[in-house]
Amino acid sequence: MFSRFYRVRYLLIILSFLILPIGYSQPVIDPNRPIKMVIPWPPGGGNDSLGRGFAVLLAEKLGQKIVIENKGGANGIIGAETVARSAPDGYTIMFHSMTSHATNAVMGIKLPYDTIKDFAPISQVASLDLILVAHPSFPAKNVQELIALAKTKPGSISYASFGNGSMAHIAGELLNQKAGIKMEHIPYKGGAPALADNLAGHVPLYFAGLGVALPHIQAGSLRAIAVTGNNRNPQLPNVPKIAETTGLSDYEANIFYGMWAPAGTPEAIIQRLNRATLEITASAAYKKKIEADGFAETIGSSPEKMANTIKSEMEILAKVIKEAKIQP
């Protein structure tokens, strides 16, 4: 009886070693507690529109409420800092332009966070071509006419962007550099105020997200000049690429979007969010929706691939920023 007691006790000890690590390695997710999705841009812009739509689908997949918090300003830096300083418990994520996030890291700005070390990539989500739009009063109807006009009036033509160092800014500076012209850059704190001033005619040109600009193009309140990607957009098949203009065949400027969590978020939570994201981006319904909204394509990825893409974007953008002499 004595030996049997010790055999049972021995088995219980062994089982405790087998069970406890499993319990400790699996973070507890409270489905009744909402996830906060920080969008580091003001409401109404392309990043906000895409993020809000994706949040609805993600909430359905997870069976968990997602609350949007817009933290605009400083080309996404203010919102990104909020996420970097948040608890890594799975209840805070960021939906952001990977391109802007990478640009901020190589602009010579003293950031309140480390772009690589302070964030845990979840997945890429989509890519977006920009579209150069003009107020109807602007005389140039295409890129060739714009270039000719800009060469006769250097520095007199201005274009809006949704932030200093944003892809919209870089798109304009790339056109300046490759076409040998000088347009004045007017930065805004997000896409919504830039669009508003473009519609009002306060600034004649804007490198906008296609999804945001499309209704205004269709209504005739903005004129589409050209798209910045390497393909024409199916929503506007008659609008040419900037690269179709003589001498600009290597022109291309795209935006990639993705999701992050604060660094230190448990791997099991990252994988849960990644699996849900991959299911969404692989669905035909989602692909059809974002194409209708003007986005180029869906891009689901592993966290590792997203991390590598960020590093690659930083290298490419650093070169472009240096050559274009873009200052913070």
According to the per-residue pLDDT averaged within each range, which of 45-49, 115-119, 125-129 is highest? 115-119
Report the candidate in 181, 198, 191 with the shortest Cα–Cα distance to residue 136.
198
Band of pLDDT at residue 18, cut at 50, 70 and 90: very low
Q: In this structure, what is the dihedral angle of CA atoms 68, 73, 76, 79, given to the nearest 10 degrees?
A: -50
Q: CA torsion 138→142→145→146, rounded to 10°?
A: 60
The total number of residues shown for the chain amounts to 328
* Residues 177-195 pLDDT 10s: 999 999 999 999 888 899 9
> CATH 3.40.190.10 region(s) of the chain?
129-244
In whole angstroms, what is the distance from residue 107 CA to residue 231 CA? Answer: 28
Nearest residue to 184 via CA among 159, 217, 162:
159
Q: How is residue 316 written in tokens?
A: 């490419």
- DSSP β-bridge partners for residue 187: 161
**Domain 129-244 part of CATH 3.30.70.1050:** no
pLDDT, tens only, 52-81? 999 999 999 999 999 999 999 888 999 999
- What is the secondary structure of 310-328 as a DSSP string? HHHHHHHHHHHHHHHT---
The token pair at 264 is 């230190």
The ranges of the chain annotated as CATH 3.40.190.150 are 35-127+255-324
User: Is the pTM above the cut of 0.85?
Assistant: no
Q: What homologous superfamily does CATH list for 35-127+255-324?
A: Bordetella uptake gene, domain 1 (3.40.190.150)
Neighbours of 127 (CB within 10 A): 18
